[in-house]
């Protein structure tokens, strides 16, 4: 089962990573100024990850595929790593869809 890991950046902002059951990070959030906003971001991922239309499939300047997960208002709530292939990116999206809804939260800021 997946889990959301909340950490604090060196600039004091909170962020979360969604990790798959194997421990690999499959989605990384933006920075949040408060833990409450970070927690809201996690809830948004759980909801929006079930709508394929919320995944924005992109290609980096170096040609590597990646994706952003967007909220209903179009704001990016999480980004993937860079993948070696389009099929690997699709596997990453499927992993987010599968892991996010039931993922537990591990708050490492306390």
Where do the domains of the chain lie? 3-107
R_g over Cα of the chain: 13
Q: Fold for domain 3-107?
A: PH-domain like (2.30.29)
Evaluate whether 110 touches 5 at the Cβ level (below 8 Å): no
Note the pTM of the prediction, 2 decimals. Answer: 0.94
pLDDT at position 99 = 97
Give CA–CA dist 32/43, Å, rounded: 14
- Tens of pLDDT, residue by residue, the chain (110 residues): 899 999 999 999 999 999 999 999 999 999 999 999 999 999 999 999 999 999 999 999 999 999 999 999 999 999 999 999 999 999 999 999 999 999 999 999 97
Of 15, 4, 5, 36, which Cα lies nearest the Cα of 103?
4
Dist. CA 109–CA 107, nearest whole Å: 6
């Amino acid at each position: 089962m997946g889990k959301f890991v909340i950490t604090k950046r060196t600039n004091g902002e909170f962020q979360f990573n969604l990790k798959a059951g194997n421990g690999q990070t499959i989605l990384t959030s933006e920075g949040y100024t408060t833990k409450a906003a970070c927690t809201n971001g996690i809830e948004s991922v759980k909801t929006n990850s079930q709508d394929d239309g919320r995944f924005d499939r992109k290609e980096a300047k170096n040609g590597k595929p990646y994706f952003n997960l967007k909220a209903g208002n179009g704001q990016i709530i999480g980004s993937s790593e860079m993948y070696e292939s389009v099929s690997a990116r699709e596997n990453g999206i499927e992993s987010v869809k599968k892991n996010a809804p039931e993922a537990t939260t591990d708050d490492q800021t306390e």
